[in-house]
């Protein structure tokens, strides 16, 4: 019973890490990355769709993202969506593909992004700790209801704390790597 609870906690904590990595991938560094623009919504087919659902995205050069729409009629709406986004990008098209140059970041903007990384990583740590709190409550209930012994509950509590610590360390490691990437000139 407690093994299932620990396995479930580990899976949910891993999902929190994945969510953090996805969020941090969208934070701009000096390098071009398709993840930077894949969340941009495009007016296509009478609805708002993510750009990666109407075009292929690639980064052939360190400071260039290439957007290749699957339907040529979407070039103008994609270009407008990129200009409207708050990313500060200036796309240009040649009728077939859209080139999005990614300018280098200035120092002030880098510091701002580092603060954002710290904020996102703190939110991820809180999410991991909330999972621990919820599962501790479940363990207490299982113990109270007599489904597991006090020793099993204590052992599961220790295991849950180790799992939590490991995931918090991973969050900090992911945040450190992103900060280094952002501060790299």
Domain final residue, candidates 101, 133, 152: 101
DSSP-assigned states of every residue in 1-28:
-HHHHHHHHHHHHHHHHHHHHHHHHTS-
CATH number of the domain bearing residue 79: 3.30.1360.40
Order of strands, edge to edge, in the sheet holding 92-93? 55-61, 64-69, 98-101, 92-93
From residue 35, give the alpha-carbon distance in Å to each of 4, 31, 85, 132: 34, 11, 14, 30
Tell me, what's the pLDDT at 146?
Answer: 87
3-state secondary structure of 102: coil
From residue 32, give the alpha-carbon distance in Å to each of 3, 28, 60, 101: 43, 8, 9, 8
Tell me, what's the pLDDT at 88?
Answer: 73
Tell me, yes or no, whether 125 and 166 share the same domain: yes
Tell me, what's the pLDDT at 30?
Answer: 67
Tell me, what's the pLDDT at 133?
Answer: 95
Angle between helices 2-25 and 107-144 (to 10 degrees): 170
Tell me, yes or no, whether 122 and 178 share the same domain: yes
Q: Does the global pTM surpass 0.75?
A: no
Tell me, yes or no, whether 121 and 175 share the same domain: yes
| 137 sits in which H/E element | helix 107-144
Tell me, yes or no, whether 111 and 149 share the same domain: yes
Residues spanned by the domain of 64: 34-101
Which residues of the chain have a pLDDT value below 70? 1, 28-30, 185
Number of structural domains (the chain) is 2
Tell me, yes or no, whether 179 and 111 share the same domain: yes
How far apart are alpha carbons 160 and 137 in whole angstroms? 12
Domain final residue, candidates 73, 101, 129: 101
Tell me, yes or no, whether 164 and 110 share the same domain: yes
Tell me, what's the pLDDT at 132?
Answer: 95
Tell me, what's the pLDDT at 161?
Answer: 94
Tell me, yes or no, whether 12 and 80 share the same domain: no
Tell me, what's the pLDDT at 5?
Answer: 86
Tell me, what's the pLDDT at 1?
Answer: 66
CATH number of the domain bearing residue 9: 1.10.132.20
């Amino acid at each position: 019973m407690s093994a299932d609870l620990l396995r479930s906690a580990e899976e949910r904590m891993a999902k929190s890490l994945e969510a953090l990595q996805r969020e941090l991938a969208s934070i701009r560094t000096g390098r071009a990355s398709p993840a930077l623009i894949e969340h941009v919504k495009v007016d296509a087919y009478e609805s708002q769709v993510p750009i990666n659902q109407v075009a292929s995205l690639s980064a052939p050069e360190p400071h260039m993202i290439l957007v290749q729409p699957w339907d040529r009629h979407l070039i103008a709406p994609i270009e407008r969506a990129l200009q409207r986004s708050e990313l500060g990008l200036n796309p240009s098209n040649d009728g077939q593909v859209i080139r999005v140059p990614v300018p280098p970041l200035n120092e002030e903007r880098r510091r701002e992004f580092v603060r954002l990384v710290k904020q996102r990583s703190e939110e991820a740590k809180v999410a991991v700790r909330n999972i621990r709190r919820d599962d501790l409550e479940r363990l207490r209930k299982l113990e109270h209801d007599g489904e597991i012994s006090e020793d099993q509950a204590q052992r599961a509590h220790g295991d849950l704390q180790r799992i939590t610590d490991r995931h918090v360390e991973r969050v900090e490691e992911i945040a450190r790597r992103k900060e280094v990437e952002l501060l790299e000139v």
